[in-house]
Amino acid sequence: MEIVSEIGESTLNGLSYIGSLASLGARAAYYTLVTPFQGKPLRLQRAISQAMDTGVSALPILSLITFFIGLILALQAAYELRRFGAISAVATAVAVSMSRELGPLITAIVVIGRSGSAFAAEIGTMKVSEEIDALETMAISPIRFLVAPKFLAMMVMLPCLTIWANVMGILGGSLFGVAEADFTFMRYIRASVDSLFLRDITTGLVKSVMFGITITAVGCLEGLRTSGGAEQVGRSTTRAVVMSIFLVVVVDLLFTALFFFAGDR
């Protein structure tokens, strides 16, 4: 009986965590979409500098990682395709798997490491040094002031980064294509573009927006839940990263299943 009650308890905890994330997201959306029209301007300046941090500064490392991932995909696909004499299908395999799955996912994981953890650390530090309390006593909502600009920045930047990741992945694949599969560079790119349907790209982008929401919500929630001292900030940061990766994969599964059963075959 002990086990049953523990399963029940952790299920409830999980559900209440999802509930907290949803409520944080909803409040951030309210301050992003509703209150600016009631005379409470959004901190656009802050959102832009946040977008620089999470987006533009992530480009070098993201480019390198996704280039390699593209190359790895090409090698792995070629291993199997060669047996059927279909090595020219490498371009298709890389393009489709990058834009449908790995582009958004790898981008999300890089962003979790760079920004999700930073959100938790930043807000957690502010929490333990009473800065969040100070905001509240000044009648400034921490959600509007701190969380909403992060949501906005992430929801814009993650799809942008994903598109970039797709391009870099295809470029990585082309290295193999040109070297080993008798493609010219232009022909490889042409083959990649021809193999993609618009929906391959849009489903990836829809997922990446959802990933952005998930990462921001988890990072900010873990930050806001920090209590105690500096040591707790470290713990929140770790939890934010682990939780984000897990939830991003869950969201990925949900949306992939949704697209699959909603006629996208």
- Choices 80-88, 125-133, 148-156, 232-240; region in contact with other proteins by CB under 8 A: 125-133
Output 61 or 140, the one with its CB closest to other proteins: 140
Burial of 179 (0-12, 13-18, 19+ CB in 10 A): exposed
Output 64 or 140, the one with its CB closest to other proteins: 140
Residues binding other proteins: number (CB under 8 A) = 11
CA atoms of 180 and 169, how far apart (whole Å): 17
Output 1 or 198, the one with its CB closest to other proteins: 1
Output 129 or 184, the one with its CB closest to other proteins: 129
- Choices 52-60, 90-98, 127-135, 231-239; region in contact with other proteins by CB under 8 A: 127-135
Output 144 or 207, the one with its CB closest to other proteins: 144
126 binds other proteins (CB under 8 A): yes
5 binds other proteins (CB under 8 A): no
CA atoms of 204 and 66, how far apart (whole Å): 15
Quick one: which H or E segment has residue 188?
Answer: helix 185-195
Binding mask 129-148 for other proteins (x = CB under 8 A): xxx-xx-xxxxx--------
Q: How far is the CB of 77 from other proteins (least distance, A)?
A: 46
Q: Determine what percent of the chain falls in helix, strand and coil, rounding each to the nearest 5.
A: 90, 0, 10
For 103-171, the DSSP string reads HHHHHHHHHIIIIIHHHHHHHHHHHHTTHHHHHHHTT--HIIIIIHHHHHHHHHHHHHHHHHHHHHHHH
Contacts with other proteins by CB under 8 A lie at: 126, 129-131, 133-134, 136-140
